[in-house]
């Protein structure tokens, strides 16, 4: 197949509204996840995304068993509550930090899978589990309501990040110093936790719950290889994330590869390239 034939094929695919929806939602999710990715990596919260995505998986399983028409309305609050609990009680709880995340992560995954197996009325449990864990083609099967919900929540996350940029910056780099200057660090940590939860629930449509961490972490890490200031890293991370998501989605619909893993592979390739560039620059 020649290049022009691929372009014709792509033009043909773009005539379908669900392909256009997928591209819009995919780009917005990639943008939001990379915005917060930098903060998470710098605050050493990289693994929180993974833990929360597993909580979201458990919540989806419960929503499926309860036969809810739209699982997002159940998954979103549960994930937000889990995020708040992890961040707020993390300091004082008996089970701390990474142990709490690991416990919540594997516990939710196990309970979710068990519920789906035992109580689900679906005829294709492995298909349901596969599409929840790896995204499968979920991004290509969104309806208009889901698209609008994704667009609105993504815009809210972007707006909140821009409005509170200075505070988030201060809390990210030195929480104690920001507290000393009068910033209520706990509030902003809470805000960050809520935004992470929202992004994770949205991102599950794109790459699934097992791969969502890659969408948050890789662009930030790639940007950090070559750029040394916060704003630069955020902007570069956004560009990398959006480009990789777009490339991944286009490659997957043209060459029949799974959407989520293709995006993550694209992110990994960019990370390797940026690591090389960073090494050469030194």
Partner 1 sequence: MLKNKRVGIILACVLMLSGCGNASRVGSKLTNENGVDKVLSSQVAAENDKKADNTGTGEETTVNENRASSVDAEKKMEKTDTNTNVEAAADVDIDLTVMSSDMVYATVYQLMFESEDYVGKTIKIKGTYYATWYERTQQYYHCVIIKDATACCSQGIEFIWGDGSHVYPDEYPADETEVEVVGEFEIYTEDGYEYCRLKNASLKTV
The site string for partner 1 over 121-150 (x = CB under 8 A, - otherwise) reads: x--xxxx--xx--x-xx--xx-x-------
Rounded to the nearest 10 degrees, the angle between the axes of helix 46-65 and helix 212-226 is 160
The answer to whether residue 177 forms part of the interface with partner 1 (CB under 8 A) is no
The answer to whether 31 touches 241, Cβ cutoff 8 Å, is yes
Q: Using the rule CB under 8 A, which residue among 59, 104, 253, 265 binds partner 1? A: 253
Q: How far is the CB of 249 from partner 1 (least distance, A)?
A: 9
The site string for partner 1 over 1-20 (x = CB under 8 A, - otherwise) reads: --------x---x--x-xx-
The answer to whether 53 touches 210, Cβ cutoff 8 Å, is yes
| DSSP class of 141 | G
**DSSP secondary structure of 11-63:** HHHHTSHHHHHHHHHHHHHHHHHHHHHHHHHHTT-HHHHHHHHHHHHHHHHHH
Q: How far is the CB of 113 from partner 1 (least distance, A)?
A: 10
Kindly tell me which of 102 and 251 has the beta carbon lying closer to partner 1. 251
The answer to whether residue 181 forms part of the interface with partner 1 (CB under 8 A) is no
Q: How far is the CB of 13 from partner 1 (least distance, A)?
A: 6
Kindly tell me which of 84 and 111 has the beta carbon lying closer to partner 1. 111
Q: Using the rule CB under 8 A, which residue among 1, 3, 118, 280 binds partner 1? A: 118
Q: Which stretch binds partner 1 (CB under 8 A): 70-78, 86-94, 191-199, 255-263?
A: 255-263
Q: How far is residue 159's CA from residue 46's CA, in Å, rounded to a whole number?
A: 22
Shortest CA distance to 214 belongs to which of 241, 193, 252, 251? 241
Shortest CA distance to 217 belongs to which of 39, 79, 57? 39
- Phi-psi category of residue 227: left, alpha or beta, with phi > 0 → left and psi -120 to 50 → alpha: beta
Q: How far is residue 72's CA from residue 208's CA, in Å, rounded to a whole number?
A: 14
Q: Using the rule CB under 8 A, which residue among 259, 264, 266, 270 binds partner 1? A: 259
The site string for partner 1 over 75-114 (x = CB under 8 A, - otherwise) reads: ----------------------------------------
Q: How many residues bind partner 1 (CB under 8 A)?
A: 31
Q: How far is the CB of 220 from partner 1 (least distance, A)?
A: 27
Q: How far is the CB of 131 from partner 1 (least distance, A)?
A: 6
**DSSP secondary structure of 161-193:** HHHTHHHHHHHHH-HHHHHHTT--HHHHHHHHH
> CA 52: distance to chain centroid?
10
The answer to whether residue 257 forms part of the interface with partner 1 (CB under 8 A) is yes
The answer to whether residue 117 forms part of the interface with partner 1 (CB under 8 A) is yes
The answer to whether residue 60 forms part of the interface with partner 1 (CB under 8 A) is no
Q: Which residues form the interface with partner 1 (CB under 8 A)?
A: 9, 13, 16, 18-19, 22, 117-121, 124-127, 130-131, 134, 136-137, 140-141, 143, 252-259
């Amino acid at each position: 197949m020649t290049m022009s034939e691929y372009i014709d094929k792509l033009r043909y695919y773009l005539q379908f509204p669900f392909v256009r929806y997928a591209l819009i939602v995919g780009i917005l999710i990639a943008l939001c996840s990379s915005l917060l990715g930098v903060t998470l990596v710098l605050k050493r919260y990289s693994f929180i995304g993974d833990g929360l995505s597993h909580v979201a998986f458990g919540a989806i399983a419960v929503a499926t068993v309860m036969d809810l028409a739209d699982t997002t309305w159940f998954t979103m609050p549960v994930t937000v509550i889990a995020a708040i609990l992890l961040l707020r009680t993390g300091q004082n709880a008996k089970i701390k930090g990474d142990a709490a995340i690991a416990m919540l992560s594997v516990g939710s995954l196990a309970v979710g899978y068990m519920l789906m197996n035992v109580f689900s009325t679906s005829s294709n449990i492995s298909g349901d589990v596969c599409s929840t864990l790896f995204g499968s083609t979920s991004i290509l099967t969104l309806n208009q309501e889901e698209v609008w919900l994704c667009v609105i929540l993504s815009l809210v996350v972007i707006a909140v990040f821009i409005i509170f940029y200075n505070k988030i910056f201060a809390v990210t780099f030195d929480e104690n110093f920001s507290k000393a200057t009068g910033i209520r660090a706990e509030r902003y940590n809470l805000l960050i936790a809520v935004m992470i939860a929202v992004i994770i629930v949205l991102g599950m449509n794109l790459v699934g719950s097992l791969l969502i961490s890659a969408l948050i972490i890789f662009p930030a890490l790639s940007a950090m290889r070559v750029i040394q200031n916060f704003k630069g890293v955020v902007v570069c991370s956004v560009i990398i994330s959006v480009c990789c998501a777009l490339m991944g989605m286009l490659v997957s619909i043209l060459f029949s590869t799974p959407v989520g893993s293709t995006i993550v592979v694209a992110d990994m390739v960019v990370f390797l390239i940026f690591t090389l560039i960073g090494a050469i620059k030194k």
